Homo-oligomer: A and B are copies of this chain.
Amino acid sequence: MVLELRVPHGEDLAALGPLRPVFLAYVLSFVTLGIFWNNHHHMLSAVDSINGKILWANLHLLFWLSLFPFMTGWMGESHFAPLPVSSYGLISLSAAIAYYILQTVIVAQQGPDSKLAAALGNDLKGKISPVLYLAAIPLAFVERWVAVALYVIVALLWLVPDRRIESAHVR
């Protein structure tokens, strides 16, 4: 988590005004990264040994997550301009796909009868999120707040932690 908020120059409420969109983007990214981090923690705790494929899939996910501070800053400082908002969706989509790859690699190692595979079940949230991100990418140019709303919806969707893994049981 290396999101950054620049210190404003004034000392009154007016100084905080231009910070509002930056702060909104900060909160959105904090929640999004927190979701990835939490579910990542849940998932990796189910893994007993790490192999090369998992390491690389993990690094791949890290790459996209590492771009969030940049995208967050750009989206916030441009006051949610269409291109930054759309790009934010692209990075989010890439991270979601990278997460899916990591999950697939781990399930492949654990086997189809593993606790993790059973816990994931049909993985509805994991399938809806990329679709919403994908929709947001072009929609940002039509009506950017619809795209932002989609990002918020995905975040809310995931705010319920991955109970599936927590209460895992083979059917």
Which chain A residues have a beta carbon within 8 Å of chain B's beta carbons?
1-3, 5-13, 27, 30, 34, 37-38, 41-42, 50-53, 55-56, 59, 62-63, 66-67, 69-70, 73-74, 77-78, 81-84, 159, 161-163, 166
Q: Which residues of B contact A161 (CB under 8 A)?
A: 52-53, 55-56
Q: How many copies of this protein are present in the complex?
A: 4
A7-B77 CB under 8 A given contacts A56-B161, A161-B56, A166-B51? yes
A13 to B8 alpha-carbon distance, docked (Å): 26
Do A73 and B7 touch across chains, with their CB atoms under 8 A apart?
yes
A63 to B33 alpha-carbon distance, docked (Å): 11
Q: Which residues of B contact A1 (CB under 8 A)?
A: 62, 66
Do B81 and A55 touch across chains, with their CB atoms under 8 A apart?
no
Do B166 and A52 touch across chains, with their CB atoms under 8 A apart?
yes
Do A41 and B66 touch across chains, with their CB atoms under 8 A apart?
no
Measured CB to CB, the closest approach of chain B to A64, in angstroms, equals 10
A29 to B55 alpha-carbon distance, docked (Å): 17
Q: Which residues of B contact A10 (CB under 8 A)?
A: 78
A77 to B63 alpha-carbon distance, docked (Å): 20
